[in-house]
């Protein structure tokens, strides 16, 4: 036991780094074990959109949203999402799909929505990158003059 204590005192930076990494790993384990939202592939997201009254929220910034987005999705940037929750309160019991560019911001938005009482929250894995490039699903492009659909889809 004395050798462990000597090691910790002599290598305090390594010991601190080990403690921080261990804490972060445990926190991530608990977050994934107790999360109240699910991840769905873009194809399953399309099936959910076709089967029910599903709300699709794009949490990217408006400048990203106009370049490409899912048809009938609404833009609610992640930074403004807590203020916008009242606008979508009627969807608390209905399926809500969340998209972003790669799926990272979607997870944060899903945590916000589940804390706000939304029951069926789904994150689209891979975000719009997977939607458009991997699965080649249709997108909508909005410009200042007109709205058009993706000609390659």
Q: Which two tokens stand for residue 97?
A: 């799909």
- Pick the catalytic residue: 78, 98, 100, 130? 100
Report in angstroms the alpha-carbon separations of 32 from 38, 107, 129.
10, 11, 23
Residue with tokens 């969340």: 98
Is 69 part of the annotated catalytic residue set? no
Work out the burial of residue 126: count CB atoms within 10 Å of its CB; fewer than 13 is exposed, 13-18 middle, 19 or more buried.
buried
Half-sphere exposure of 121 (CA within 13 A, CB side): 22
Contact call for residues 144 and 68 (beta carbons, < 8 A): no
Of the candidates 50, 55, 47, which has an alpha carbon nearest to the alpha carbon of residue 121? 55
Separation of CA 66 from chain center? 18
Task: Supply the residues annotated as catalytic.
Answer: 100
């Amino acid at each position: 036991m004395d050798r462990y204590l000597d090691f910790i005192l002599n290598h305090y930076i390594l010991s601190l780094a080990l403690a921080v990494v261990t804490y972060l790993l445990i926190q991530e384990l608990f977050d994934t074990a107790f999360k109240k939202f699910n991840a769905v592939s873009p194809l399953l997201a399309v099936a959910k959109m076709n089967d029910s009254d599903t709300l699709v929220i794009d949490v990217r910034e408006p400048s990203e949203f106009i370049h490409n987005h899912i048809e009938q999705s609404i833009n609610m940037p992640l930074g403004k999402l807590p203020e916008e929750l009242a606008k979508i309160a009627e969807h608390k019991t209905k399926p809500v799909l969340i998209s972003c560019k790669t799926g990272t911001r979607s997870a944060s938005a899903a945590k916000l929505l589940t804390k706000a009482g939304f029951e069926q929250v789904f994150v689209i894995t891979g975000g719009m990158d997977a939607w458009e490039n991997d699965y080649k699903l249709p997108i909508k492009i909005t410009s200042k003059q007109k709205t058009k659909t993706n000609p390659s889809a």
